[in-house]
Amino acid sequence: MSNRDRYREHRIRGSLERHVASTPDEHRVQGLARSAWQQRGTVCFTEADLQAMPWASRALIEGEARRIYGPRGGR
């Protein structure tokens, strides 16, 4: 007799896994961005935020980001 049908493999959880969301929640992301600005002065823009901006604002922000952080990969 064998218990093979009942066996299932258990994943080993990483120490940081509990901090990672399974899917991004847009409202949560916006809330964290707002909080970062209000508490630390850190500014975060999502791709949707950049798309909604006037071209001049977007060009200025993307230019400064390239100057400070270097070219953007993956695009």
Provide the residue ranges of all domains of the chain, joining segments of one domain with +. 46-75
pLDDT at residue number 24: 72
Confidence of residue 21 (pLDDT cuts 50, 70, 90): low
- Of the candidates 22, 65, 67, the residue with the CA atom closest to the CA atom of residue 47: 65
Supply the Cα-derived Rg of the chain in whole angstroms: 21
Mean pLDDT of 18-32: 79
Asked if pLDDT for residue 17 goes beyond 90, the answer is no
The pLDDT score that the predictor gives to residue 15 is 79
* pLDDT at residue 22 greater than cutoff 70: no
Q: pTM for this one?
A: 0.58
| pLDDT(16) > 80 | no
Distant-in-sequence, close-in-space partners of 61: CB < 8 Å, separation ≥ 6: 45, 50, 53
Q: What's the gap between Cα 29 and its chain centre?
A: 8
